[in-house]
Amino acid sequence: MVESVSKQGKLLLNENMAKYTSWRVGGVAEQMYLPHDKADLIAFLQTISSTTALFWLGLGSNLLVRDGGISGVVINTRGRLKTMRYLGLNRVFVEVGVSCARVAKFCLEHGLVGVEFLAGIPGTMGGALSMNAGAFGGETWDFVSAVEVVNRAGKVMRKPASDFAVSYRKVVGLEPNSEWFLGVELKLSEGDTVASQARIKTLLAHRAFTQPLNLPSCGSVFKNPTGDYAARLIEATGLKGYAIGGACVSEKHANFIVNTGNATAANIEELINYVQQQVQLQHGVLLQTEVCRVGNA
């Protein structure tokens, strides 16, 4: 339902979040804003009360929205903050709504290598920045030289990568609930793009072979513990195929929980908690979640 349309953006009321998450579950967003571009988003932020909760959404691939939905405003950046440009000197600027796969392709088109792993991440650059997303041995922040950030008042700032503390699937440096990523400057290297294209094809083939891409999931649910793999521990616990309602631990990859068709967010969250409990009980390891859980139960 459209409440209003600004000069360019759209504000939606009571929008079903299941349409926007890769798990295909979740309640409604009280409000959702679809900005036309950065200028439109900044103008919208300047109209929002300082007490209104804001949640930023990309491809929804690392996200569990609870069945009670999300209060406040969801800022939907997917395919909207989509600027990419070559800056020269092996640098590329990317806004947060661009998919990681498109970034990998764009860089290769400009003779730049290093971020081929992004082709295997089913999210946007905003999500990749927020959690230092990685795949196949590569991590996003290995290539970040600076970021563009916006605050609640709509003020845009450029910050060097050195302002942030970055580790495995964790990035610290934004003011919680008052600053968000708008874009990133990547510093890359020139290289053999033919070999890089071949590597991307190999990575994507491996992903298709090892991951349950035919069913709704969020990607990897748990972080890999130091010196081990979450999938190995879950499989060793005998949980492949274990289901609660329509949520099931994938038979293909134990670190994936799939929606077999009628799962609720509550089913998925209960299964996440059960897997954690059983792995800790049998192996003494408390798996940490990689997926972001938001909203009201």
CATH number of 230-294: 3.90.78.10
| Distance between first and last Cα of the chain | 23
SS3 of residue 64 by DSSP? strand
pLDDT tier at 297, thresholds 50, 70, 90: confident
Mean pLDDT taken over the chain: 95
153-204: pLDDT as tens digits: 999 999 999 999 999 999 999 999 899 999 999 999 999 999 999 999 999 9
Active site residue 169: yes
d(CA 128, CA 58): 10
Letter string b/e over residues 143-167, b meaning 16 or more CB atoms within 10 A of that residue's CB:
bbebbbbbebeeeeeeeebeebebe
Q: Quote the percentage of the chain above a pLDDT of 90.
A: 94
The CATH code of domain 2-76 reads: 3.30.43.10
pLDDT over threshold 60, residue 120: yes
Rounded percentage of the chain residues whose pLDDT exceeds 70: 98
The active-site residue out of 61, 130, 217, 220 is 220
Told to judge if 220 belongs to the known catalytic residues of this protein, a careful annotator would answer yes
Q: What is the pLDDT of residue 1?
A: 44
Q: What is the pLDDT of residue 7?
A: 58
- CA separation for the pair 26, 72 (Å, rounded): 15
Q: Taking the domains of the chain in order of start, what are their residue ranges?
A: 2-76, 84-209, 230-294
- Inform me whether the pLDDT recorded for 83 exceeds 60: yes
CA atoms within 13 A on the CB side of 246: 14
Q: What is the CATH number of domain 84-209?
A: 3.30.465.10
Q: Where are the alpha helices (DSSP H) in 52-153?
A: 100-109, 125-131
Q: What is the pLDDT of residue 2?
A: 47
- Is residue 103 within 8 Å of residue 189, measured between CB atoms? no
Q: Which of 169, 196, 217, 250 is catalytic?
A: 169
Q: How many whole angstroms separate alpha carbon 115 and alpha carbon 199?
A: 11
**How far is the CA of 49 from the CAs of 37, 54, 71, in angstroms?**
21, 10, 14
Q: By C-alpha distance, which of 62, 64, 61, 135 is closest to 104?
A: 135
22 HSE (CA, 13 A, CB side): 26
pLDDT at position 79 over 90: no
